[in-house]
Amino acid sequence: MKLSTYFLPTLKETPSEATVVSHRLMLRAGMISQSTAGIYSWLPLGLRVLKKVEQIVREEQDRMGGQEVLMPLLQTAELWQESGRYDGYGKEMLRMQDRHERDLLFGPTAEEVITDIFRRYIKSYKALPKCFYQIHWKFRDEIRPRFGVMRGREFLMKDAYSFDVDKESAVNTYRAMMRTYLKTFQRLGLAVIPVRADTGVIGGDLSHEFHVLAQTGESQVYYDKKFDTFRENIDQVDVDEIMGLYAMADEMHKPEECPLEGEDLREARGIEVGHIFNFGTKYSEILNAKVVLADGSSIAPEMGSYGIGVSRLVGAIIEANHDEQGIIWPESVAPFQVALIGLGGTVEVSEVCERIYKDLEKVGVSVLYDNRSEGPGVKFSTADLIGLPWQIILGPKGLQEGLAEIKCRRTGDRESIPLESLVSYMQEKLC
């Protein structure tokens, strides 16, 4: 992509309405544009990141056996009246009527819809276990939307729902989802702590929240220092061991009940990016979803639901990965891998940059080529602001010597690389 034609409305000034760094940087880097309170448009650069996050979440859901579905944004009030949540959900639920004056709502979550699908098609225990998920927009009329996409009213969520024949099987599914979440957040380049949680309006008895550690987090997280060592080899960890470690957030942490002290207890700020629940037969009972067992008796399946705040994650990743100059994307979610910066405005530099650009794209490296007729200061600050992992810088002097400079955005390290080996060098860096 060439910056001369790309729609990247960056801002020099810090927007006054943005109080947290991710919100400021998302606005300044031209990733999002506010439409109204808590509702945003995703502009090209932001959307590329959102899609990458979404895809990693999807791949890990698929890997654990989740089957992707897409349920309606608008749900009928009847289902919620049947489950008894219609009145209780309160003002966060956006309600409306269609032309026939039938009550509808913009879905804040989808336990009712998925249970309705289940009860219409699945009748035998032989079909279990089943896990469905979707990645779709939700609406919650938050009283105080803030921090940009971190607490929006309209937001993208991955919501998964599981059905198991008994408690033991349901807890196994819960464990599998715990492992899937740890893997997902690791791939996103995030340090995450699963803390024991309240089940709130969703209900149930087993629940964890996943908190990204970031100084600006809204929650105070207390956790066993062993989490810091587990993180390195997530694939090998014993999920039961993880679930047995102490980790609590905010008022769930009761110092008098905490088994850890001194060095063993870590404290940090956290942003909740995921929440998983095992709630037994709460919805299957009330909505009359039943399966017949081998002995002819019928039971309500055990259920769980599992959320990830996909759009919130984009903000959380920035909260955990930035410096004074701007965003520092983890490679797995970077909107482009390389910023190619041509300096000096000579025909020769442009020609070589053009060739580098084409050669990199040919081998599958995504490049944002700054071919604008701007000075070096503007180009460097744009590149640092939007935070692509690698910068390739070429000016007239380098060209004369046959060298391009490569800068790592995260470390600031710079290397001079001969032009002829640039493409293979970058490929190696990005493998």
Chain residues binding ligand 5CA by CB under 6 A are 109, 140, 142, 151-152, 155, 157, 159, 202, 272-275, 305-307, 309, 311-312
Report in angstroms how near the CB of residue 379 gets to ligand 5CA at its nearest.
34
For residue 376, whether the previous peptide bond is cis, meaning omega lies within 30 degrees of 0, is no
Nearest residue by C-beta to ligand 5CA?
A: 309
Residue whose CB is less far from ligand 5CA, 155 or 329: 155
Report in angstroms how near the CB of residue 110 gets to ligand 5CA at its nearest.
7
Report in angstroms how near the CB of residue 23 gets to ligand 5CA at its nearest.
12
Residue whose CB is less far from ligand 5CA, 70 or 347: 70
Residue whose CB is less far from ligand 5CA, 69 or 293: 69
**Do β-strands 74-76 and 103-106 pair in parallel, antiparallel, or remain unpaired?**
antiparallel
What value, to the nearest 5°, has the Cα angle with vertex 59 and ends 55 and 64?
150
| Residues facing residue 219 across a β-bridge | 270
Residue whose CB is less far from ligand 5CA, 30 or 108: 108
Residue whose CB is less far from ligand 5CA, 132 or 336: 132
Report in angstroms how near the CB of residue 49 gets to ligand 5CA at its nearest.
15
DSSP 20: S
Residue whose CB is less far from ligand 5CA, 78 or 142: 142
**Of 272, 304, 260, which Cα lies nearest the Cα of 157?**
272
Report in angstroms how near the CB of residue 320 gets to ligand 5CA at its nearest.
14
| 3-class SS letters over 148-174 | HHHECCEEEEEEEEEEECCHHHHHHHH
Distance CA 329, CA 338 (A): 11
Question: Count of H helices and E strands in the chain?
Answer: 13, 23
Report in angstroms how near the CB of residue 264 gets to ligand 5CA at its nearest.
27
Residue whose CB is less far from ligand 5CA, 142 or 166: 142
Torsion of CA 118, 122, 123, 126, to 10 degrees: -130
CA 160 to chain centroid, in Å, comes to: 14
Residue whose CB is less far from ligand 5CA, 103 or 142: 142
Report in angstroms how near the CB of residue 224 gets to ligand 5CA at its nearest.
22
For residue 129, whether the previous peptide bond is cis, meaning omega lies within 30 degrees of 0, is yes
Owner of token pair 């960890």: 237
Burial class (CB in 10 A: 0-12, 13-18, 19+), 57: buried
Report in angstroms how near the CB of residue 128 gets to ligand 5CA at its nearest.
19
CA 412 to each of CA 12, 28, 43, 369: distance values in angstroms, whole numbers, following the listed order = 22, 21, 28, 19
| 3-class SS letters over 322-379 | EECCEECCCHHHCCCCEEEEECCCCHHHHHHHHHHHHHHHHCCCCEEEECCCCCHHHH
